[in-house]
Amino acid sequence: MSRVESLIARMTLTEKLGQLTMTACGMAVTGPTIAGDSTAAVKSGAIGNLLNLVGPNNVHAMQRLAVKESRLGIPLLIGYDVIHGHRILFPIPLAETACFDPTLWEVSAREAAKEAAADGLAMTFAPMLDVARDPRWGRSAEGPGEDPLVGARIAEAKVRGFQGADLRQADALAACAKHYCAYGCVTAGRDYAPVDISERTLHEVHMVPFAAAVAAGAAAIMPSFTDLNGIPMTANQALLHDWLRGRLGFEGVIISDYNAIAELIRHGIAGDLPEAAALALKAGVDIDMMADAYRYGLPAALERGAVTIADIDQAVRRVLTLKERLGLFEDPFARGRTPESAAALRDRRHLARVIATRSIVMLKNQDDTLPLKSTVRRVALVGPLSDDSSEMRGVWWGAAPPEGHVTVLAGLREALPGAQILHAPGVAIDSADFSGISQGLDHCSAVDAIILCLGEAAIMSGEASSRSYLGLPGSQRRLAEAVFEQARGSATPVIVILFSGRPLVVPWLVEQADAVLAAWFPGSEAGNAIADLITGRASPSGRTPVTWPRAAGQVPIFFSERPSGRPFNATDRFTSKYLDVANEPLFPFGFGLNFGRFEFSNLRLSAASLGIDDAVTVQVDLLNSGAREAQETVFLFTHDKVASVSRPKLELKGFAQITLGPGNKGTVSLSLRASELRFLGMDLAAVFEPGEVDILVGPCADRTQLLVASIHLVAN
């Protein structure tokens, strides 16, 4: 008999339910504590999993209680939200997506896993794979942006990075992909609100990244808090048991979100805790996080006949199997035993700088304002986000302390040792007090350049941080307008560094600034990365992974909408458009400038037709006619011109990057398999239909900038 089966045969009901329970930890003077309980629950086997406990000493102290003092000696599974780094932080996930580089996505996850595992952890509640097309939703900051293909590529990269080659290794974390499914579609962008979308959108968009995570071997999945078309995901048997486990063959652990099982009562589908627990268990949820629904609800559910002991055993089996895969039975103290070297930390810090530099998107660079000229001697640095270490972390900063993250002021002083940096915050991030503006304006006199650091506070993004007004909070617009007005009188260039966890609706800002960098929240090396771009040590290469609206009334907004029977026509009132704003976004998906100037030409295909088993090579030539070396991202889109189901105007099928020196030419090749041109037919089953498909290649999802060729799909 295997270890897992032997344990199940020996376990009491209390011990079984303990393996299905995850409880949060905190810290007291005397050491780690368990929320709402005591360490006696670990010794008795009533709690088998913990979250929010970090530090080798703390983790090992709790682990020792489980393996040395409990009856069966089953080790604890201990997890944490390692979202974009642990103590050394990389850019927030939405920012890192802007790199459009799967290798970097994987490497940052690998480094985060090493650091978190050295802190004693065995699981991360990441990656977050919710496709989001409404920037009002604060959790957009944590995800892959608006496109399902990008979400799938991130899922694959992050699962590989977190889990490594073998989950038993002491530097591996079990990845928990979240939040399954369609959490990014909450009504009105309001967190925790209901989700009501079509089955087509669900399957074509929101399930795609999770299917990729399962295929990549993700150890765990977390359902969302929300209901989907009336059925809360925590109790959605059709999508958890039937689709995830049945159709995709997922054999890992499903972990509820924080208190989500108890919230089934508030959703109105369960009358009490036993009923809620039974619904979640029957749907396939193995671990109850922080609701105590399984510990206290399942015994009554058993008595009522709502669940069976076999149902409980199956969930316990999956949890124990994961602990076995993580090597916890063999050595529960392996993670956190060996401290990381100073060299490893230095290398990680350097990587954080590289990724932060590549994540920043240059939205405007009028008259080559950037990089700053070597003759610059006096710079005014103004704005509430110019010298705040804690804000550079962004949302979900893990175990990173508020101090120690490089600010813009610190980065510029390091990069411009011969220049005088005049600094004033001007205003607070979110305050009506504008009394400091005058000091900021004083600094803007007789300078060579003005750098304005504006945006959201880190806490304005992430969970429970939905915003209906997507402009600059507080008095920041008043500050910016005053600076612009003064700069116009002296012809001083104004460079805006915009910090946010989402696109902000600031067309007026972009219009008046000479240069704009969307910095998102760059992490521990924020100031150095920004200084590298401002001084020209690096060329901007980030590309916005979300469509950037020009007005809040445009959202939800995304590039892959369907064409409509009355597509936009400026001369025809009765077509799809607004009366008061253009249809076009402020910046399309994939937009981003660099210090080069790229020209696309000679789009060509290796074949004129494709059968279902074939593939085509798509090639395009690029010329950097600019004066500096730079990197360009090349996007491959398709459009099925006539199909049984109306297809999106653009569908992303691939992306690649090329770096060229000034005056140099190069060729980018992308492979496209015919199977990738299948779509869900009228019955939501995948179909491959003969006909003509446009192949479109270019720098972003602006159709006017795309080269177009056509290919014929043929039946075999």
Q: What is the pLDDT of residues 449-472, one digit of tens each?
A: 999 999 999 999 999 999 999 999
**CA–CA dist 219, 319 (Å, integer):** 10
In the numeric block, the tokens 């937009």 are attached to 591
Q: Which helix (H) or strand (E) holds 184?
A: none
Active-site residue, 313 included: no
| Separation of CA 451 from chain center | 28
**CA–CA dist 658, 65 (Å, integer):** 54
pLDDT at 287 over 90: yes
Pick the CATH number of 355-554 from 3.30.1490.20, 3.40.50.1700, 3.40.50.970, 2.40.30.10: 3.40.50.1700
Using a pLDDT cut of 90, give the percent of the chain over it.
Answer: 97
Q: What is the pLDDT of residues 132-167, one digit of tens each?
A: 999 999 999 999 999 999 999 999 999 999 999 999
* Tokens of residue 119, six digits: 């802190």
Please write down the HEC assignment for all residues of 8-44.
Answer: HHHCCHHHHHHHCEEEEEEEECCEEEECCCCCHHHHC
Q: What is the pLDDT of residues 692-712, one digit of tens each?
A: 999 999 999 999 999 999 999
Handedness of CA 307, 310, 314, 315 (dihedral sign): positive
In the numeric block, the tokens 């116009």 are attached to 488
Pick the CATH number of 598-713 from 3.40.50.2000, 2.60.40.10, 3.30.390.10, 3.20.190.10: 2.60.40.10
* Tokens of residue 98, six digits: 């802007």
pLDDT band at 34 (very low <50, low <70, confident <90, very high): confident
pLDDT at 394 over 60: yes
Which pLDDT value is given to residue 716? 73
Buried b / exposed e along 433-472 (16+ C-beta atoms within 10 A): ebebbeebbebbeebbbbbbbbbbbbbbbbbebbbeebeb
**CA–CA dist 51, 79 (Å, integer):** 5
pLDDT at 27 over 70: no
Which pLDDT value is given to residue 180? 97
pLDDT at 14 over 80: yes
Which pLDDT value is given to residue 146? 98
Q: What is the pLDDT of residues 397-428, one digit of tens each?
A: 999 999 999 999 999 999 999 999 999 999 99
Average pLDDT of the segment spanning 320-343: 98
Contacting residues for 623 by C-beta, under 8 A, at least 6 apart = 598, 599, 601, 660, 663, 664, 665
CB 656: neighbour CB atoms within 10 A?
18
Q: Is the pTM of this model over 0.95?
A: yes
pLDDT band at 36 (very low <50, low <70, confident <90, very high): confident
**Which residue from 319, 251, 309, 240 is spatially nearest to 286, judged by alpha carbons?**
319
Which pLDDT value is given to residue 37? 83
Q: Which of 257, 387, 388, 532 is catalytic?
A: 257
Average pLDDT of the segment spanning 624-650: 97
Widest CA span of the chain, in angstroms? 83
Do 67 and 74 contact (CB within 8 A), yes or no?
yes
**Long-range Cβ contact pairs of 297-304 (< 8 A, separation 24 or more):** 297/261, 297/272, 297/273, 298/17, 298/20, 298/274, 299/13, 299/17, 299/274, 300/273, 300/274, 301/274, 301/275, 301/277, 302/13, 304/274, 304/278
pLDDT at 30 over 70: no
**CA–CA dist 109, 152 (Å, integer):** 15
Do 317 and 4 contact (CB within 8 A), yes or no?
yes
Q: Which helix (H) or strand (E) holds 48?
A: none
Which pLDDT value is given to residue 1? 79
Q: What is the pLDDT of residues 290-302, one digit of tens each?
A: 999 999 999 999 9
Beta strand pairing call for 598-605 and 378-382? unpaired
Which pLDDT value is given to residue 713? 96
pLDDT at 632 over 60: yes
The secondary structure of residue 252, as a DSSP letter, is: S
Helix/strand/coil percent split, the chain, to 5: 35, 20, 45
In the numeric block, the tokens 């060329």 are attached to 539
Which pLDDT value is given to residue 33? 73
Q: What is the pLDDT of residues 431-449, one digit of tens each?
A: 999 999 999 999 999 999 9
Give me the chain's average pLDDT, please: 97
pLDDT band at 684 (very low <50, low <70, confident <90, very high): very high
Average pLDDT of the segment spanning 574-594: 97
pLDDT band at 31 (very low <50, low <70, confident <90, very high): low
**CA–CA dist 441, 506 (Å, integer):** 21
The ranges assigned to domains in the chain are: 1-78+308-339, 355-554, 598-713
Which pLDDT value is given to residue 8? 98
Which pLDDT value is given to residue 337? 97
Which pLDDT value is given to residue 32? 72
Q: Which helix (H) or strand (E) holds 642?
A: none
pLDDT at 107 over 70: yes
Q: What is the pLDDT of residues 65-88, one digit of tens each?
A: 999 999 999 999 999 999 999 999
Do 355 and 161 contact (CB within 8 A), yes or no?
no
* Tokens of residue 4, six digits: 């897992």
Could you give the 3-state DSSP secondary structure of residue 670?
Answer: strand
Tell me phi and psi for residue 624, to 5 degrees: -95, 100
Kindly list the strands in the beta sheet with 615-624, ordered across the sheet, starting from the edge strand earlier in the chain: 598-605, 615-624, 665-673
Beta strand pairing call for 515-518 and 598-605? unpaired
Which pLDDT value is given to residue 29? 54
Handedness of CA 160, 161, 162, 168 (dihedral sign): positive
